Structure 1
Amino acid sequence: MSTAARTGPRRERARAATIAEIKDTARALMRESGTVDVRFSDIARAMEMTPPALYRYFADRDDLLSALIADAFDDLARAVAQARDSVPADDLPARWVAAARGYRGWARREPQQFALIFGLPLPGYSAPEDGPTTEAAQRAMAQLAALFGEAIRHGILTPPTLRDVDPALELCAVAKGEDLGGVLPPETFQAMLHAWNSVHGFTCLEAYGHYDWMEPAAREAFFLSQVRLAALNAGLPAP
């Protein structure tokens, strides 16, 4: 093998390692500061680099933020999938609870990443349309959508509590269905969104301290009742 052939992969590995270090440093700074805003100058200082050197790896701060947001969605997707798949495939009620717990647990472990993807928009940042952040968000949502597909395949999904679907949402179900792993019936697509909203709403309120007045045992019981209610309304077998 020629020297040039060996040097190419080595440079690629070094570049990938530096990109990973930049992102890890940005996340560490977010955890230390308790915010999701990060500056190139702070990252460069922590890595003992010059700020201009970072532009060899990311075009600008927005480019870095997009990469961090995509990573966060992918990390969330893995957490939900791992929690869901830790339960036998034939126990769909328990898989739903496990997925919901995976979602909540990730938010509690990664408050800055949770805020990065679900908090207030960062000033001056605009995510690229149909870019890596959108694709990663779809992969994360597909982990929850998979449960509804499983319920349909096993013939155990009953009609949701609310069956009326506005035509605009019907179009959305068709347009977005393939991105989530397959087109669902409009009423099921709507029910899936309601179920996610229920879990996400609890998770957000808890993440921002609005349930701190509850004792941990009461909070856990309330979470499980919320998850059970979401399943019942969506037509999933009750946990």
Structure 2
Amino acid sequence: MVTQQDPDQTLPPARPSRRERARAATIDEIKETALRLMHEHGNTDLRFSDIAREMGMTAPALYRYFADRDELLTALIVDAYDDLGTTVAEAREELPVDDLPGRFLAVAAAYRSWAKREPQQFALIFGIPVPGYVAPEEGPTTEAAKRAMGQLKALFSDASERGLLGKPLIDDVDDALAACAQVEHPATVPHGPPLPPETFQACLQCWSSLHGFVILETYGHFDFLPEDARDELFHATVRQAAVTSGFPWPHR
């Protein structure tokens, strides 16, 4: 007996063709090769000729996959932001929603671990700008940055919605910065409405503190400290950032 298919039933997505799978695999290999060469050369500059040679291809063949070096860099930067955003979001969601200090520490620790695990991706989005590269205005890199950096803002939004976000230590905000609090950019979207100016400022100060530690450690400036001492300094930095921002934190 033949039954009529429900027209509202969602059909499974079509399986990519062999050609599509081969193209996707080549794009992934190009990206992986580019990141490896950046790591080996110690910079974020890219040349198609170097990538092609490593892959056993001709440089012109790469243009079938990326229009130019900037398009490849844009793809790598989007990947980096998305990887960072996913990493910190997953770390946050592993803890109960009512454990705000634990979620704050988890986000900070995930950010630190990601930077140490992916130094080249970290350098791409937070290091010295690649010579000659200009990101597309309001393009994929901007959207990826919003998704990634909005994870910190989500912590402050959650604490505020629960009535647990206190007054930041520094609550006077210059008009120039207060105006920025109402503009959509990576620190204010996509997690809910804009933060109040004093909280917006505290959120940025918090990120500055955490990022300052991470970038110093990632580039070896804390190597004079043993690992356990670096860990304790990191935890103290996280605690200081949270407390001065008005974020709920248990007393010691």
**TM-score w.r.t. structure 2 length?**
0.88
TM-superposed deviation, 1:87: 1.4
Determine the C-alpha separation between the residues in 2 that align with 1:143 and 1:7: 33
In the alignment, the residues of structure 1 paired with residue 97 and residue 16 of structure 2 have an alpha-carbon distance, to the nearest angstrom, of: 44
Q: 1:217 aligns with which of 215, 225, 228?
A: 228
Once superposed, what is the RMSD of the aligned Cα atoms? Answer: 1.7
Measured in 1, the distance between the counterparts of 2:184 and 2:205 equals 16
Q: Give the 5 Å matches for 1:27-106.
A: 27-106=35-114
Equivalent-residue separation in structure 2 for 1:93 and 1:143 (angstroms): 15
Contact 1:62 / 1:125 at 8 angstroms: preserved in 2? yes
Measure the CA separation in 2 of the matches of 1:8 and 1:28: 28
Aligned length: 234
- Residue 246 of structure 2 is matched in structure 1 by 235
Displacement after TM superposition at 1:73 (Å)? 0.8
Contact preservation (8 Å) 1:107, 1:203: yes
Which of 3, 10, 14 is matched with 2:22 structurally? Answer: 14
Question: For 1:23 and 1:233, how far apart are their aligned partners in 2?
Answer: 40
Q: Please, which runs of 5 or more residues in structure 2 have no aligned partner?
A: 1-13
Matched, 1:154 2:162: yes
How much does 1:137 deviate?
0.9
**Amino acid paired to 2:180:** C
Deviations 1:108-157 (CA, angstroms, capped at 9, x unpaired): 11111111111111111111211111111111111111101110111100
Larger radius of gyration: 2
Q: CA deviation at 1:37?
A: 1.9
Conservation of the 8 A alpha-carbon contact between 1:141 and 1:180: no
Q: TM-score, normalised by structure 1?
A: 0.92
Note if contact 1:39-1:61 (Cα within 8 Å) is conserved in structure 2: yes
- 5+ residue gaps in structure 1? 1-5
- Are 2:221 and 1:202 equivalent residues in the alignment? no
Q: Which digits, 9 at most, give the CA deviation of each residue in 1:3-35, with x for residues without a partner?
A: xxx998443333222212211121122233332
More helix per residue: 1
Percent identical residues: 61
Instruction: Work out the CA distance in 2 between the residues paired with 1:173 and 1:19.
Output: 38
Corresponding residue SS for 2:171: coil
